Amino acid sequence: MKKILFSVALLSAGMMCTSCDQDLLEIEQKATSSTGNFYKTDADAESAVTAMYATYIGEIGGNEGIWSAYITGINYASDDVFAAGGDMADHTGFRELNEFRYDASFGPVSTLYNHIYKAIYSANLVINYFGGELADTPTKKQAVAEARVMRAWAHMLAAQVYYQPPLVDHLITTDKPSNDISQKEIFDWCVKECEEAANDLPERKGQSDKEGAWRVTKGFAQFVGGKSALFAGDNAKAASLLKPLVESSNYALVPGNRFRDLFHVEGDGCEEKIFEFNYTTNTAIGGVWGGSIQRGRWMVANVLNWRGDDIVGGGKNPQICATGGWGGGSINQDFAHKMLANDGDSYRRKATFLTSDEFFYDATLCPWADDVEAGGKLSTRAEKEFDENRGITKSAGSFSRSDVMEVKMMCHPKDVDLSVGDNCNNTNLCLARLGEAYLLYAEACLASGNSSEALKYVNKIQQRAGSKTISSSVDLQTIQDEKQYELWFEGCRWFDIVRWGIAKQCYDKVLDNIPLQWDEYWNPSDGSAPKTKPHKLYYKIHHPFADAGIKLQFVAGKNEYWPIPQTVIEINDQMHQVRGWANN
C-alpha cells in the first residue's frame, strides 16, 4: 500500500461579508473532485481503502479525552480488571463500567457506538463506489474485499457490545437502520461476508511480511469469520474457517522469551500478528494538541502506566515505565494469584504482572534508579530491602492495587518517540493474533467433538507460555482458563464470559471488593515505625459501596451488554432498547 499522509481541514460555514460578486461564486473549487469523477481508477480505489484504514485507526484506536472507547472501555468491563486510578473519586467515568453503574445516557456507551458506525460508513463508501459491476480490476476487487472484512469485524464488535445492533450493509440515504435482526443473524452475516471476501484477498507473504499484518489478508478474513461463527454457535463452521489459518506457514507463535514483545513496539508486525493498526509518528501535525496527543495513543499511556504519585521517584522509577501515569487498568488480585499458581515463573506470567519480589528486587525485570543494572549502586538483595529510593509511599494505600503489579499494557521506554514525548505510546494496536486464533480453534474443535485437536493447540499455547501446567486432557474449563491467562486485557474476557453464560457468577465475585496496596517498608502492616521492615507489597480488601449502604449488582439479562445509546433511540424511531434495558 502506498504510504499516503492525510490532513484534515475544518471548514467554516459562516460568511464573513454581506455581499460578493456573483462571478466569484462560479469559480470552480480547486483540489476537489465529485464522487462521480473520483471513484474511477485503481489509484482511486487504493486511496479510498487507505482512507478507510485511517478512519478505523482514528475511530477505534484513537483517544477519547483521557481514555479510549475501545481499549479501556471494553477491558474495563471485564471481571479481572480494576479501573483503579488515584482514589474513589478519580476516573469515575471508567469505574462506572467496572461497577455496572451506567445507563443508556452514559458517555462511553454512545461514544463507542458512534465510533463503530463511523468506521462502518468508511467501509461502505469503498464497497458502494467500487463493488459489484464496478469492481472490474483485481485492485478494485481487493479494495472491496478489504472493506467487507473490516465492516464484518466492526459488526462483530457491535454485536458483542450491544445486543441486536443495526446491520448497516449499505450507505444510508433516506432509510433508517433498525435493530430487529437477531444476534445470530448478525454473526452469520459476518461469516458470509468474510467467506466471500477471502476469494479476492492475498495471503500474507510469509512470517516477515509486516505489511501483511497491517492490511487485511485472507488470514484476517478467516480469523473474523471463524470468531463470528463461534459467537453464532456454529462450532463446525468456526473450526473449518480457522483450520487453514492456524496451519498456515505465514504465521507462527513468537518464542516464549519474546512473548512480552507482542504488546510493545518490538513486536509490531511480527510473525504472530494477523492484523493490527499500524501507528506511526506524524510530525506533520503541529500545535500543542496535534503535536503532543494526536501523534500517538497519548492518554492511553497515561491511563495505563503505574500511578507515579504513589511511587518513590514518580515518573520513571522503576525505569521499566516510560513515564509516571494514573494507575488505571489494574489486574484483579484473585485472577493474578490463580495465574501465578498455574504459570509459575513463565514468560507469559512475567510479561503480564510482577510479584512483589520481582517488583522490588529483580533488576532485570524491573530496574530501580539505585540498581546497578540501571546505572545505580545497589546490587545485593540486602541492600535493596532497605533502599529509601524505591517503594510505594502512599499512606492511604494505592487504590485498587494488590500485592502484584501488572506490566502487560504499560508503556515502556522503547514504546515512545522521545521527539514527541515520553507519554505517546506508538505500539501498534493488535486486533488479531495467532495465540487467540489457536484458542478459538481449540474451543471450536472441542465443541465439535475433536478433543485431540483441541488439546494439541491448547498445549502449543501452554508450551510457548512456559507454563508449569501442561494439560494432558482438555475440557471447556481448561480453554476458559487458558484464554484468561493468554489474553488478559486484550479485549476478549467480557465477551467470552457472556458467551459462556458465566458472566453473573464471575462479576458477583469481584463487585465492591476493592484492594488497597501498601509497602511494608513505608507503611508497616503491624503499625510499627516506617523503614524498619523490608520492601514488600501487601493489601487489604475494602467494600466502599457496602460501607456507604449501596449494593452493587450485576443484573442477569441486562448487564451482559451495553444498552443502545439513548441519543440513538431519540433520533431514530426504528431503534428500541432490548432485554433488561427496555424497562429502564
Q: With 80 as the cut, is the pLDDT of residue 229 above it?
A: yes
pLDDT tens column, 417-450 = 766 667 778 889 999 999 999 999 999 999 999 9
The per-residue pLDDT for range 305-339, each reduced to its tens digit, is 999 999 997 766 788 888 888 999 999 999 999 99
Distance CA 499, CA 231 (A): 7
Residue 2 has what pLDDT?
35
> Distances from the Cα of 115 to the Cαs of 51, 121, 219, 419, in angstroms?
15, 10, 25, 29
Neighbouring residues of 229: CB distance < 8 A, sequence distance ≥ 6: 187, 191, 235, 237, 238, 241, 444
Phi-psi bin for 273: left (phi > 0), alpha (psi -120 to 50), beta? beta
pLDDT per residue over 21-61, tens digit each?
444 334 444 445 566 667 789 999 999 999 999 999 989 98
Question: Which of the residue ranges 94-108, 195-209, 418-432, 525-539 would you say has the lowest mean pLDDT?
Answer: 418-432
Helix (H) or strand (E) holding 267: none
584 Cβ contact list (under 8 Å, min separation 6): 103, 104, 563, 577
Name the least confident of 63-72, 76-85, 269-278: 63-72
With a threshold of 0.95, does the pTM exceed it? no
294-303, 431-440, 448-457, 484-493: least confidently modelled range = 294-303
Average pLDDT, the chain: 89
- SS3 of 276-320: the string is EECCCCCCCCCCHHHHHCCCCEHHHHHHHCCEHHHECCHHHCCCC
Helix/strand/coil for 540: strand
Alpha-carbon gap, residue 157 to 148, rounded angstroms: 14
Q: If one looks up domain 183-278+428-488 in CATH, what number appears? A: 1.25.40.390
Q: How confident is the model over 78-131, as pLDDT tens digits?
A: 999 999 988 888 888 888 888 999 999 998 899 999 999 999 999 999 999 999
Which residue, chain included where needed, has cell 518513590? 312
* pLDDT for 208 beyond 90: yes
Note the pLDDT of residue 345.
Answer: 96
Comparing 69 with 494, the larger pLDDT belongs to: 494
CA distance 533 to 26: 81
Identity of the amino acid at 367: P
Residue 316's CB: how many other CB atoms inside 10 A? 17
Residue 457 confidence (pLDDT) above 50: yes
- What confidence tier does 295 reach under pLDDT thresholds 50, 70, 90? very low
Enter the C-alpha cell of residue 575.
431503534
What are the distances in angstroms from CA 398 to CA 126, 182, 394, 403, 514? 49, 44, 6, 11, 11
Q: Is residue 297 within 8 Å of residue 63, measured between CB atoms?
A: yes
For residue 418, the model assigns a pLDDT of 65
Least confident of 16-30, 130-144, 153-167, 243-257: 16-30
Q: What is the pLDDT of residue 92?
A: 83
Contact 277, 431 (CB under 8 A): yes
Could you state, in order of their start, the residue ranges of all structural domains in the chain? 42-170, 183-278+428-488, 298-425+507-547
Judge contact between 293 and 63, C-beta under 8 A: yes
